[in-house]
Amino acid sequence: MAGAETVPVARPVIGEAEIAAAVRVLRSGSVVQGPEVAAFEREFSELVDGRACVAVNSGTSALYLSLLALGIGPGDEVVVPSFSFAATANAVRLVGAEPVFADIEADSFCLDPEAAAAAVGPRTAALLPVHLYGHPAAMDRLLPLAARHGLAVVEDACQAHAATLHGRPVGSFGAAGCFSFYPTKNMHALEGGMVVVQDARLAAKLRMLRNQGMAERYRHELVGANLRMTDVSAAVGRVQLAALAGWTERRRQHAKALDARLRGVPTPPVAVGAGHVYHQYTVRVAEQRARFQGELAQRGIGSAVHYAVPIHRQPAYAGGGEELPQTDRAAAEVLSLPVHPGLTEGELDRVATAVDAVAALLGSEL
């Protein structure tokens, strides 16, 4: 379609309301972990069944701090999916523990409870499921597994703001739930993260750890770091949080429209009871994915591969020799299409038309 602009796979929003909020904070002079952060924590709590929220400077920091606060460290193993962003496993390594990679379910792309059970050993301290692409992991089967073995559960909900399983919000299942506010996420705060916990003592420990181990100024009760959120980020996050419900609804409508339209590729299945928030709308392209992507690009359609190389095959982690067939298959086949709330009806139509045209073109060549 000559002349038409490319439909981007993500379109982060930094609108007038976000800019006004940031300027308001800058003019106030109170820019680090002040009233905006406190308000953001209170408001985000409504999204996670009223659990305590502790804001930090990234999703990675949220994961790292959760593991640290739960006392997970050297000698411990944490069961994680390999089919995720590397931050999931990096957080485990950063506290000195060892990630043990388990396979995913083919349909949801999330940690397979049976594979997780097989990965549990005498040194396992925690399970770290990821609600990948905005689809909830099978918490109803992972929580009993954790309970049987006395394991902590830390949820990586970095891609899944407002996703639910049987009506319960992700982030509210485990000892800690971790969110990211990176610009391409379903809501952002420029950069930022949130840890969500039920236990008030754990919340207090997290608050200390994010701020050099202090509860009182210059009294360091723990060894902490500086992982604080700025008030500029929190103010932007509050604007985005207010818009999240509407954006989630639009993502779902777009996914529904694509589900109904697409003929040439299998559409993403949704598990029973899952409230998918479509951070990504991910299809499988079994053959010639690079060409598929190139043909889409020629038709002005952006797409992305999350993740072509699973974590256990990354240089920093390679060598374990794990057999993760569903992970390898997903890494070879997945392709994410535009589903973000900023899509117009015309753009959505162009996405569907292009995907089916490319599928037909490549299918006829096979």
Check binding of 182 to ligand PLP (CB under 6 A). yes
Of the residues 40, 44, 83, 85, which one makes contact with ligand PLP according to CB under 6 A: 85
Check binding of 88 to ligand PLP (CB under 6 A). yes
Burial 307-325 (b: 16+ CB within 10 A, else e): beebbbbeeebeeeebebe
- How far is 25 from 19, CA to CA, in rounded Å? 10
Pair 229, 207: CB distance under 8 Å: no
Shortest CB 180 distance to ligand PLP, Å: 3
- How far is 339 from 251, CA to CA, in rounded Å? 6
Residue 91: both structure tokens together:
């957080």
Give 172 or 352: the residue with its C-beta nearer to ligand PLP.
172
Q: 135: closest CA among 268, 297, 224, 229? A: 268
Check binding of 60 to ligand PLP (CB under 6 A). yes
Give 83 or 292: the residue with its C-beta nearer to ligand PLP.
83
Q: 162: closest CA among 246, 104, 232? A: 246
Residue nearest ligand PLP, Cβ-based: 59
- The residues near 252 (Cβ < 8 Å, ≥ 6 apart) are 276, 277, 278
Shortest CB 91 distance to ligand PLP, Å: 8
**Amino acid identity for residue 222 in this structure:** L
Give 58 or 248: the residue with its C-beta nearer to ligand PLP.
58
Shortest CB 339 distance to ligand PLP, Å: 16
Shortest CB 171 distance to ligand PLP, Å: 13
Residue 219: both structure tokens together:
């009294």
Check binding of 180 to ligand PLP (CB under 6 A). yes
Question: Count residues contacting ligand PLP (CB under 6 A)?
Answer: 14
* 101 three-state secondary structure: strand
Pair 351, 301: CB distance under 8 Å: yes
Shortest CB 28 distance to ligand PLP, Å: 25
Shortest CB 326 distance to ligand PLP, Å: 17
Check binding of 193 to ligand PLP (CB under 6 A). yes
Give 22 or 137: the residue with its C-beta nearer to ligand PLP.
137
Range list of β-strands (E), 57-136? 77-81, 98-102, 124-127
Would you give the DSSP letter of residue 241? H
The interface mask with ligand PLP, positions 112-141, x = CB under 6 A, is ------------------x-----------
Give 52 or 137: the residue with its C-beta nearer to ligand PLP.
137
Phi-psi region of 37 (alpha: psi -120 to 50; beta: other; left: phi over 0): alpha
Of the residues 69, 87, 176, 301, which one makes contact with ligand PLP according to CB under 6 A: 87
Pair 77, 124: CB distance under 8 Å: yes
Q: Which of residues 140-179 bind ligand PLP (CB under 6 A)?
A: 156, 158-159
Check binding of 84 to ligand PLP (CB under 6 A). yes
Residue 349: both structure tokens together:
């139509």
Q: Which of residues 196-235 bind ligand PLP (CB under 6 A)?
A: none
Give 87 or 196: the residue with its C-beta nearer to ligand PLP.
87
- C-alpha 171: how far from its chain's center? 11
Shortest CB 72 distance to ligand PLP, Å: 17
Shortest CB 193 distance to ligand PLP, Å: 5
Shortest CB 290 distance to ligand PLP, Å: 23
Stretch that binds ligand PLP, among 47-55, 82-90, 228-236, 346-354 (CB under 6 A): 82-90
- How far is 164 from 171, CA to CA, in rounded Å? 9
- How far is 352 from 348, CA to CA, in rounded Å? 6
Pair 84, 60: CB distance under 8 Å: no
Shortest CB 183 distance to ligand PLP, Å: 9
List contacts with ligand PLP (CB under 6 A).
Answer: 58-60, 84-85, 87-88, 130, 156, 158-159, 180, 182, 193
